[in-house]
Structure 1
Amino acid sequence: MFRKPLAFTLATILSSIAFSHAEPTQAANHSDAPEIYFDLPIVTAAVPCARSGSGGLVDIELRLSSMIVAPEPKKIDQWIVRCQPRSSEVQIADYAPRTEVASGIAGPIQIKTTDESSKSVGLSIDGAYGNLAHGNVGADRGSKKFESLQYDRIAPVQAVTASGTINRGRGVYFKLKWTEQQVLEGEKTFQLTLSVPANWRGGLVDVSVIAQSEKKSFGGWDSEVVTLGKANFVVAVYGEGDNDAMHAAKSLAASEEALRKAAMANQRSPNPITGLMRNVTSLFDSNKQELSDRWLERLLLEGTSPHVDKQILALPVATRVAALDYCDARQTFVNLNESSDDTNRYVAAKPAMKRVVNE
């Protein structure tokens, strides 16, 4: 008697699950998917350009690439790029490109004005004396004056690239506009000159980029800024010619790649039955909070500890080990600027950390 309603209920639940999962996927492929992707090498060399007893200056080059993937992309109005070294001992000494302006008009604007004035006076007298004589006297006087003025006016300009320091000189920003002379797709090069201490061998630089478009409402009265794509990167910068620092930077890059692969593998459900039961439970539990993937962002950008972060502690063992390996590689690279005693104390503490995770 009760089998049909029960079967109907299960069928309804399964169809609801399929619908709830298909709809967000479709939205992610259309409205939520970014229209532009960015890429930046994780390792770069710093070239010394000046050296003194208390420190020196090094030049680094950041090659930021972009690819527009939308078949009918929106107009990209500007990029905003921010760069900042993590170490408080490193300051921004110089940067390029600097603020640049350009105009949509080639050459100056020529303006010419002409003023013409004319004066004329005329006199005419006609007379006759019977049938014997006729007379005509006339006089005319006229003058014309022309004045011409021609000059060049500078064509109006707009900022193509704007740049300056942020966070009290510890970082720098670049704002790039899309114009007839500048296309915001492909590779753009940014140069930073860092003021570093005397014992500096390498460090981390945080780079963020966001692509924006100004969207006008109906009628053009209001406008809003729409984000078309964004990305965050951590660049390992090492001193040119320092082989140990170069190997430590490349080891950090390999650890980050392994961590990202482990994070992507963790997002896939290995057991479809387990995933099905989790989705059925979420239909009846409106207060259920799913684990976010912000743990990767916190680990890479904010330097959170994998030993105290609740989301990282809830990850599978393989993912937690990848997170620990990345933290070890990052700490090894950062410790290049520290004394040997501090480095030895950290290396001695690493086995204890691994034992805590395995337990």
Structure 2
Amino acid sequence: AVDSVTKHGSTILHAAVYGGKIDVVRFCLDAGCKVNAVDDEGRHALMAAVSCRCDIKIIEILLDAGSNLSVTHKLTKRTALHEAICQHYVLATHLLIDRGGSLTAIDHEKKSPLFLACQRGLCETVAYMLSKGNCPTSSPFASALPIHAAASQGRASTIELLSDHGCDLNQTNEKGETPIMTALAEDCFSSVRALLQCGCDLEAQNKVTSLQICCILHEDPHPHLGLEPLFLALTHKNVPMMKMLLQCYCHIPSRTIRVLTKLLKQTQGLNSHYTPQQKEEIFSLFTQHLITPFTLADACRRRIRACLGCPIQVKVKHLPVADKVQNYILMESEFEAWHEIEQDMPGGSSGFSDIFVRRESY
């Protein structure tokens, strides 16, 4: 009978999908198999087809037969769209979006399709979602913010896409961290570079006066040393990162530099983790920025960047100044040099998924 099921609840249509034969899938549907019948785990034929990366024609046939895009897996609560993104199945992802797949559906971890795409660095998919106009760039759940997912995984190109579509680069997650804090905690040079290039605020923590979630997680008063960008870069002994940060602060963080210098000199546990050469380089960097005043042009640029905020590339283009001045404000030569530094780092400039070679069914 066409309604026969296995002990795990799989139907004949499930079997046809797993077999990957287009004509068999058509035959089952013509014979009366229910297109939305689910197995014991809550998977219907469409979700099964996406999970095993079936031929895109099979997915089209199931959709044409009325497959429900809102069906969720019993355990993960993921829809077929979530699953397509997890499988890096770009063709299926775009098809499901075109057929009405929800861009706001969340799984059991409160993650939206955009979050999963940002986490995996699927730039083409992220761009496609954002182009639809009804894809929120943020989330009501602080633990599942797309920009933080991209920042923690080194997805520079994804960060730039989110910024171009109006994403707030200074929002905080459930730990009270802005995206750049998250990127620095993971030592993601490419993410930090992209966030700075898009105009994020390095001093966002210093501008908050009310009690924040981070105040519960940290013992020292706000602003917390453990969330200071320069401190986070120091914990990874990343001198190139510290140099980049110091060139982008609106005001040199003198208090933080003095505290870090004191900690490096007097805290035995911290001191022992740095070689004499590393400490000498760090002390020299700190001293240089404490005693060397900004040039007038540099001071003006830092202030203009701080006032404009993100997306700075868009806002600068509206300034009534020459192209050469716009390029200076955007720090194009500096960011080009930092981008070159990324190429010599493990994983390249943007992590593996930004250079992911798409695998589609043939």
TM-score (norm 1): 0.22
Larger Rg: 1 or 2? 1
Identify, as 1 or 2, the structure richer in helix. 2
Identify, as 1 or 2, the structure richer in strand. 1
